[in-house]
Structure formats: structure tokens, C-alpha cells
Chain A
Amino acid sequence: MNVTDKIIEIIAEQAVLETSDVTKESTLEDLGIDSLGLVESIFAIEEEFNITVPFNANKPTNNDFDISSISKIIEGVERLLKEQLG
């Protein structure tokens, strides 16, 4: 399974939606994911890809990791995979 599919699966589970309801253009807000859900999603991503995501819940929009849409999250994870797993 590729990175995109896996992330959509993680986000869908968190939002209690079908994977078909989650698109790359979706935002977390659209999907009804609150701050606790976001932190749990970040954890699930870290566990799945064995990476560390630089994310501080005190300033969610001001991190090195862009969470403004699913496609931004996918880009971020792909970048971290390159950096951290080389």
C-alpha cells in the first residue's frame, strides 16, 4: 500500500468515515477531526511509517509539518520518509 492510501486510511478511521469519503483536497476540519483526533492521527502516522513528525499541538498551524489538507499531510510524510529513512 502506498503512502497516500495509508494516510487516507488512517484519517478515515479517525473520522469514522469510509476511505472513499476522504479525498486529497479534504481538510481535517471538513472531516470533523478535532484537536484530540489530530494528535491521535499524528501518532498513528508515526507508528505506521516509523517516523517522527515535528508537531506541537500548542501551535498546530505554525509547525514544520503542514496539516492544512490531506495532500499537504501526504507531502509532509513523503518528505519525512526521505529525510529520516534516507
Chain B
Amino acid sequence: MKLIAAMSGGVDSAVAAARAVEAGHEVIGVHLALASNPQKYRSGARGCCTIEDSHDARRAADVIGIPFYIWDMAEEFHDGVVEDFLAEYSAGRTPNPCLRCNEKIKFAAVLDRARAMGYDGVVTGHYARTQIGPDGKTLHRAVDHSKDQSYVLSVLTVEQINGAIFPLGDTTKVDIRAEAERRGLAVAQKPDSHDICFVPSGDNAGWLRDRLGSEVGPIVDQDGNKIGEHKGAYTYTIGQRKGLGLTVPTADGSPRFVLKIEPVTNTVVVGAREDLAITTMRGERPVWCGPAVDSTPRTGFVQVRAHGAALRCSYYFDGSLLIASLEEPLLGLATGQAMVIYDGDRVVASATICETQ
């Protein structure tokens, strides 16, 4: 096949590209320039968007022996990922930008362009697997569950999964580093990237404050009594306990947790731990990663965070929302996060959580 390897400058995508070449594919490496004003050097272990990262990617492509190009996707990334991230926070939800990037950039803008140019698909260094079964190509967890990234890939449609190649899904991270070393790739020991690539400081709250302002608002209990003040509701997350700065103690001295963020009134609602418990979640804009889910309840697992646990549930689709009911209650679930349904290791569907109870 003719493939485009998306190369971030990290060890995973470098080994993925090398493996695709070794498997006999015709591969070109492409580094996506996502930041409109890229920093020169990485500060610590964040992101993949500095000029140094693009040099690392170029060097890896040269060592592997494939052509290498840089594609400017800064505008698409800003409009599709950064703006969405800000809009979601402004609406009191907690978005996952990596998921949005896969949905709108890597397996949309890049894959579309690749196909228009006569390429068959996009190779990435994600830890996930695909399998060809009776229902076509399906998406599965990586063998290394601790590194599994199927959660952030769950936004891919069948059409996109068909154009996605994940050569690393059968290997552990430790082995990938060793393999990079063997292949003479200088990025073998480069630290993993963490956090959000477009927040190079790692200070999400500060980054949001700079862009959304820090309008002071009330922190209230469930009866609506004001018990404190916050500096920007969006810097809180559901289930947060620390850093609330509350001076009025509860009657029994038990801690309070963020239960709800109301953007319209700029209010943060806090309450007791047990009030965080939810058993049902509803998700909008569902994506089917294989055959569509129907209205018949089925049992499976739901995952609500990138590296969270898979929780037993029953799920169905009511025609507009994807609904999952948990066997055991879950504490603290933010809307805006993705709910991803698994059947064993297979990714069934994902949706953006819009309601919990």
C-alpha cells in the first residue's frame, strides 16, 4: 500500500513508520505543524509541536530512508481543536483535545488529503490494533493495556478505521524503545509527551484564564447557599476536592467536592462525596466504530477517561443518544468527556457525555 506516516518527532511514530516500511509499504513521512507560533525547543516533556520535534521527525525519516515533508495544519488545528477546547470549557464541560485532534485532523484532514493524493491510508504510532473480521475492519485495544490509546481513537468512523494503520498495537512501550535503539533512531529515549500539546507550560488553568478571563463567581452548596468564591468556573473539574478555598465548614466536617459547573450563572456547585455518584450517562453525537448500536440493551464496558478503568455496563441507542447504565456507581463524571463502549477489547462506539444521573 501507499501510506503516509504521521511523524510527531517521538519514538512511537518513528518506529511505526519504520515498521510500515519493513512490511513492504511505500511510505512517506509527514510532520504536522499544528502550532501557529511554534516554540524552538521542547520545554520538558510536553507536546509534539516545537521546531525541535519537527527536526527529530525529519532525522528519524532520514534514518529510516523515507521522504519527509511538513504539512501546515495550524489553521485546521486551531479551528477544530483549540477553539473547540475553549468553547467546551466555556460551556462548563471538560473536553479531550487529543480525541478531537484524531477526529478532525489526523484521520480527517490528513487522511482526506492522503486519499486525494492517491495514498491508501495513514500510519500512526498510536497503541491500538485493528482486525479484519466478518464486519470489516474493527478497532481494538493495544496488547499493552497500560499504554492503550483506543479511547482517543474511538471517534473514528468505519471509513476512517479503514484508512488507519497502527503498527505498534501488538508491542509494549518498553519493547518499542528497545526497537528504536536497535534501529538507530535517536528518539529512542525521548520522554513521552504528556498533557495538552498546545499548553506548553502545562498550566491548563492559567492558559484558560488568559483566554477566557477570570470572572469571579459564587461557589454554592446544593441548597444554593453561597459558601465561597471562585476565579473562573472553568478551571474546576467535577469531583475536584482540593483548591476550593472554602472557609465555611460542613456541619459534620466532611469534605466537599465539585458537583456541577454552571457556565450561564458562572456558579460552581459543591456537595458531599456521595452526591457525586452516578449510574447512568447519556452521550450525544455518537460514532460507531463498527456495526451501529441499536435500541436493544447489550452488556459491555464503558470507559470515560483516557486511561480510566473499563466499567461494566449495559448500553443501547435510543435514536439520538447513546445510553450506558453502570453496574456499580461512579464518582465524579464531567460532561464533555467521551464515553467509549467496549465489547471485550473491541471499540464499539463513542459519544460525548451530555448528561449524567
A, B assembled together? no
Residues of A within 8 A of B (CB): none
Residues of B within 8 A of A (CB): none
